[in-house]
Amino acid sequence: MQKEQWQRETPWEKLHEECGVFGIYDATNKTNVVQKTYMALYALQHRGQESCGIAVNNNGAVSLHKDLGLVPDVFTREHLDGLGSGQIAIGHTRYSTTGHPYRFNAQPLLSRHFKGLMVLAHNGNLINTAELKSNLEHKGITFQTTTDTEVISSVIIEQWLQTETLEAAVEIAMFHLKGAYSLVLSCDDKMLAVRDPYGFRPLCLGRMGDAWLVASESCALECIGADFVRDIKPGEIVVIDKKGPHSITTHCGKTEGGICIFEYCYFARPDSTIEGVSVHKSRLRAGRLLAQDYPVEADVVIGVPDSGVDAALGYAQESGIPYGVGFIKNRYIARTFIQPTQSQRENSVKIKLNALRETVSGKRVVMLDDSIVRGTTSKRIVEILRAAGAKEVHLRIAAPPFKYPCYFGTDVDRPENLIANKVPLDKLAEQIGVDSLGYLKAEHFPKLIEECGLKYCEGCFSGKYPVPVPKQQYKDQEKYNFSISE
């Protein structure tokens, strides 16, 4: 696949999350781990649509296939059969936040070492990558990719040289890794699941017969018939071997948590549960709160697929305004697809969404969406509604305005490119072309996740981060060379 064939949409039109990770271990060899991983990656496709991969561990021998593209494009029947069978499989779907969308940046990463073959899949983003990479390079370590994931792998291997087990190496390495990381690793006859001490990115544990599984979201477990067991705790290392899972909790309880609040607003699938909170229920609450704060006389409430739909249902339930299906989404268009000309990139919204005229024509419409980044996409969606005959369009956003960069695995653009930093809120409605505009108030976040026992990270909205973050490092990876991209 040539690099120029895979181009992102016009930058920062919509947000993207870095990755989805999955792992399965069955010491009995009764489970087709390749098939289950393939199915799980389908369920996690929303978390990364640039590349994907599967690695299979069979008694220490590893087979790996990965490439640019969506899950069904990368894995043919021949590829899946070629992976063979084994006790452990690790899968990954990627959207690049550090490193560019090249094939060599696809995951899982395979490291060959005299202590064994280590497979690693990573979701998140470190904030001290440049420092770690510089230290490693001065020790003679070279790098084959442009991702922080390889830096994590190198830090772990460096510690592995001085310890007896992989889990001991990971335990020490975590003292050096700063930022967001949910990891799945395998070596020989064991699989590890690791979550950073703040728990920025989700990671959960499941079971299916004799097999144990870990995944970024619970929906991946349910989609393959596995039972959700629990969320992996922030700072926890779960080691799964022939005896089953056991935990190393050295790094647990060091913080009050920092789960990304935007997992609930946008990233996660609505059928997932994260830290005891139903994502669907969280979005319903957001819609209800928006109806309370920004009531309006209207004829129909609609949601922008997919993450705006649940909030629209909540708004309709609270306001009493009927809910309607306002858009038809082209399910065969992904977040990354071939866009050979600028005009096609500019019209990508029209390719993806079409207004249902029967729902909106002649109506006063309340439209729910998850966010506004640059404002370009929102404006085009409003134009689509107007062209379909909508008499009024009232926009409600199920998140506060984006004003600050994210350093932990989310594509939030440079502050100067965020429309909330350039256009006063009272002028933004006019610029987008809506009759009224209302954002979710940040003070409502605790109500969205009231069952969650962790604090949350809202840095991209408030500029307040759970950990100190670097300054003046954004998304120009080539310029900054492993600088923080989120």
- Residues with a catalytic annotation lie at 19
Cβ contact 93:48 at 8 Å: yes
Secondary structure tally for the chain: helices H, strands E: 19, 25
Gap between the Cα atoms of 20 and 46, Å rounded: 8
Kindly calculate the radius of gyration of the chain based on its CA atoms and give it in whole angstroms. Answer: 22
Nearest to 174, CA basis, from 162, 156, 160, 190 = 156
- 3-class SS at 458? coil
Strand partners, 126: 179
Distance of alpha carbon 131 from alpha carbon 323, whole angstroms: 51
Written in H, E and C, the secondary structure of 410-422 is ECCCCHHHCHHHH
CA distance 159 to 140: 15
Asked if 456 and 449 count as a contact pair (C-beta separation under 8 A), the reply is: yes
Alpha helices in 327-434 (DSSP H): 342-346, 348-352, 357-360, 376-387, 419-422, 425-432
Q: Are residues 262 and 307 in contact, defined by beta-carbon separation less than 8 angstroms?
A: no
Residue type, position 444, single letter: H
User: Which residues, at least 6 apart from 111, have a Cβ–Cβ distance to it below 8 Å?
Assistant: 117, 118, 119, 120, 153, 157
- Do 227 and 221 contact (CB within 8 A), yes or no? yes
**87 contacts 27 by C-beta, under 8 angstroms:** yes
CA dist., res. 329 & res. 303, Å (int): 11
